[in-house]
Amino acid sequence: MSTEAKAILEKFKALPQAEQWTVYQAIARSVVPGEYGELSDTELTAIAAQTFALLDEEDRAKSR
């Protein structure tokens, strides 16, 4: 991953969760999956793990 991409991710992580969700939705709507090829099983597993970690964070935040 490039330095520029890493910087964007860090800025994204610094946003409030509601803004992260808005940015995520905008990116998801603008990306055409066929343009990037299929994801490998390893990539899908990593994405699922990240998604579940975010959902766990949301659950913990709500229970406080």
Closest CA to 24 of 50, 44, 59: 50
Which residues in 22-57 are b (16+ Cβ under 10 Å) and which e?
Answer: eeeeeeeeeeeeeeeeeeeeeeeeeeeeeeeeeeee
What pLDDT sits at residue 60? 86
The pLDDT value recorded for residue 44 is 92
Q: Is pLDDT of 64 > 90? A: no
Q: How far apart are CA 61 and CA 50, in angstroms?
A: 17
pLDDT at 62 over 90: no
Is the model's pLDDT at 4 over the cut of 90? yes
Burial (0-12, 13-18, 19+ Cβ within 10 Å), 20? middle
